[in-house]
Structure 1
Amino acid sequence: MSSPVVAVLPAGGTGTRLGSALPKQLIKIDGREILAHTLDVFEATPEVDEIFVFPPREHVAVVEELVKSYGFGKVRGVAPGGADRAASVRAGLAALSDHPSDTKVLVHDAVRPLVDVATVTECVTALDELEAVTVAVPSTDTIVEVDVSGPRELISGIPDRSRLRRCQTPQAFRLRTLARAHELAVADVNFTPTDDCGVVRRYLPHMAIGIVPGSEDNLKITYPGDLRVAAELLRDRTL
């Protein structure tokens, strides 16, 4: 019997940098909420069995109504997220406490609506060989390390660009691995994770983390210009 596949969507972002009173995942592009466009992909991915969404507490009812109105049948739960991304992922882990330890868990930013079914499927397949994977794209810019100790930032190093990647989502894990990494992270007050592969890397350093090739189209909507780009891309995309 194959392992269950569950998508966990942290959706606690605000619209601050977009200048919006609405949480950015509820802003509409081409007539539909960003979150709805994102859910389209996971709903359409045959390998995905269940979806859980974690919006801010005050918007749970709105998201529940969105799920109902669009008929997203794979959504098994909408519950309050946490104060930050890591806390929302931990809320997801709590919701999966009754799932088998080998469950495949896909963690995806709710405001990345342009991921495609093929990429989600490749993440699921990669977990047949690995405990953890992330979608990533090569860096087209030169990345510099900086010394921030003085009044002006100074370059302290220039890594080899050919070995650098920019992480996107989904990031995918066996439930046992993600749960253990977050269990260890909770006790570390000196670390603020920005993604789940970073949590696994820090607390389970022996664990290999694979790369699934991503796409420049898979942008995270953060700034007003991202809305314009996403609108153009969504008009032309196929799932």
Structure 2
Amino acid sequence: MDYIIIVAGGKGLRMGSDIPKQFLPIGGKPVLMRTLERFREYSADLQIILVLPEAQQAYWQELCGKYDFKVKYQLANGGQTRFHSVQNGLALVPDDAEGVVGVHDGVRPFPSIEVIKNCYETARTAKAVIPVIPVVETVRHLEGDSSVTVPRGDYRLVQTPQTFDIQLLKAANRQPYNDGFTDDASVVESYGHAITLVEGNRENIKITTPYDLKIAEVLI
């Protein structure tokens, strides 16, 4: 059995909105609903776990009624950090479960079905997989008051879903939290397991600013 943990804990601060960014509409429907629908489109059998802060759950339920949202999922409470939110989501995955579990940003509604499939299928053997895209801008590394150009071909931008063997991610998430855990791959890497990269899709943007919202409307 495969799972996806969709983490949605944003407060919308960079969006300049009182409404958390995952609830803002694109193409007439909240971002988060489009994200859940994309994973249901990938697989009717995928077990979806949505992680939301308790303070946002009542509003989410209102939206589900308003938009007649029918995608089935389990709900977990958000934690103090992303790491703790994923822990809460993982707690709904049985301890003896076998298969692949993905973790995805709730404000990334445009992962391609091909990318999702590749992440899950590659993780069946590689155990820890993340989608990435090339850096197309020139990159400079800051060194004190100066800076130096670095080879952009040596770098990749990381996306989600990040997919893992269930038992591996559960074990890695039993580690004590530290500030170096910027995503789930960093947690698994800290546990000692190598990360495999697969090609992402450039449309798979993370919607965090008003500009991103405009791009999302174009993509819709």
TM-score, scaled relative to structure 2:
0.91
User: Aligned partners of 1:124 and 1:195: how far apart in 2?
Assistant: 17
Residue 133 (1) aligns with residue 154 (2): no
Residue 182 (1) aligns with residue 173 (2): yes
TM-score, scaled relative to structure 1:
0.85
Contact residue 124 and residue 165 of structure 2 kept, 8 A:
no
Contact residue 99 and residue 124 of structure 2 kept, 8 A:
no
Q: Which residue of 1 aligns with 2:58?
A: 61
1:84 positional shift: 2.0
1:95-134 alignment runs, 5 A limit: 95-96=92-93, 98-134=94-130
Deviations 1:132-166 (A, max 9, x none): 00010011123333234xxx3x22x5443222110
Q: Which residue of 2 aligns with 1:196?
A: 184
1:103 positional shift: 2.6
SS at match of 1:129: helix
AA aligned to 2:162 is Q
Contact residue 63 and residue 78 of structure 1 kept, 8 A:
no
Q: Which residue of 2 aligns with 1:45?
A: 42
Cα gap change, 1:48/1:170 in structure 2, threshold over 3 Å: closer, same or farther? farther
Q: Which residue of 1 aligns with 2:81?
A: 84
User: Aligned partners of 1:141 and 1:100: how far apart in 2?
Assistant: 44
User: Aligned partners of 1:7 and 1:168: how far apart in 2?
Assistant: 15
Cα gap change, 1:113/1:181 in structure 2, threshold over 3 Å: closer, same or farther? same
Considering only aligned residues, what root-mean-square deviation do their CA atoms show, in Å? 1.8
User: Aligned partners of 2:126 and 2:15: how far apart in 1?
Assistant: 37
Residue 27 (1) aligns with residue 24 (2): yes
Deviations 1:156-211 (A, max 9, x none): x544322211000000001111122221243x4xx24221111111221xx22111
Counterpart of 2:164 (choices 170, 173, 182) is 173
Q: Which runs of 5+ in 1 are unaligned?
A: 235-239
1:43 positional shift: 0.9
SS at match of 1:122: helix
SS at match of 1:16: coil
AA aligned to 2:27 is D
Deviations 1:10-40 (A, max 9, x none): 1001111001101110111111000011111
Q: Which runs of 5+ in 2 are unaligned?
A: none
Q: Which residue of 2 aligns with 1:209?
A: 195
AA aligned to 2:114 is A
AA aligned to 1:118 is E
Residue 229 (1) aligns with residue 215 (2): yes
AA aligned to 1:184 is Q
